[in-house]
């Protein structure tokens, strides 16, 4: 099962992000549908049922309280290989990173490998395929470097199953840890 851990976004934040993301349509940019936008914590990949139980157990070990999350500005991971456009997490980034680290440490100790790249709390808004003018897209992203998409209180994390379909991904909640 293709899985990930995330924090759900309230509708008003998703609406705000989607309004700006529409500016990126065309030229090889594939927008994330606002109904499935989420704050990414961990992409876990394909897990079997036993591994999913280990993830749930690890999630239960998270020590966290509800916290304020602010989403502000657009960015990208690698300017020389533009692949993902995302909204930055400003307020609450430290709390997201702490939860990420708690889950990573627990899963690694239980034999489930984790990505080795540095974690950046974010909301993916688009994936970039072959584009004719990447400089124009980078310029457009930078024009929204300080756009405020809103704030909300994060009070849970969810383990989700991701089914890829030709119409886009379908996400199903497998487990929720409230804090």
CB-neighbour burial class of residue 122 (10 A; exposed 0-12, middle 13-18, buried 19+): buried
How crowded is residue 157: how many other Cβ atoms within 10 Å of its Cβ?
24
Positions marked active-site: 38, 122
Q: Where are the domains of the chain?
A: 2-178
- Per-residue pLDDT of the chain in tens (179 residues, 90 and over written 9): 999 999 999 999 999 999 999 998 777 899 999 999 999 999 999 999 999 999 999 999 999 999 999 999 999 988 677 899 999 999 999 999 999 999 999 999 999 988 878 899 999 999 998 778 888 889 999 999 999 999 999 999 999 999 998 888 999 999 999 99
Q: Does the 2-178 domain belong in CATH 2.40.50.100?
A: no
CA distance 117 to 52: 22
């Amino acid at each position: 099962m293709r899985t990930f851990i995330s924090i759900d976004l309230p509708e008003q934040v998703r609406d705000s992000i989607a309004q700006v993301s529409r500016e990126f349509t065309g030229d090889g940019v594939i927008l994330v549908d606002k109904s499935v936008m989420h704050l990414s914590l961990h992409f876990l990949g394909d897990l079997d049922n036993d591994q999913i139980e280990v993830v749930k157990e690890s999630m239960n070990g998270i020590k966290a309280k509800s916290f304020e999350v602010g989403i502000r500005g657009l960015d990208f991971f690698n300017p020389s290989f533009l692949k993902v456009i995302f909204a930055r997490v400003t307020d609450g980034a430290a709390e997201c990173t702490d939860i990420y680290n708690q889950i990573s440490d627990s899963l690694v100790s239980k034999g489930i490998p984790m990505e080795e790249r540095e974690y950046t709390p974010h909301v993916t808004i688009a994936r970039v395929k072959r584009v004719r003018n990447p400089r124009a897209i980078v310029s457009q992203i930078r024009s929204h470097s300080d756009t405020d998409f809103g704030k909300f209180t994060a009070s849970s994390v969810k383990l989700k199953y991701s089914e890829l379909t030709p119409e886009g991904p379908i996400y199903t909640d497998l487990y929720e840890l409230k804090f």
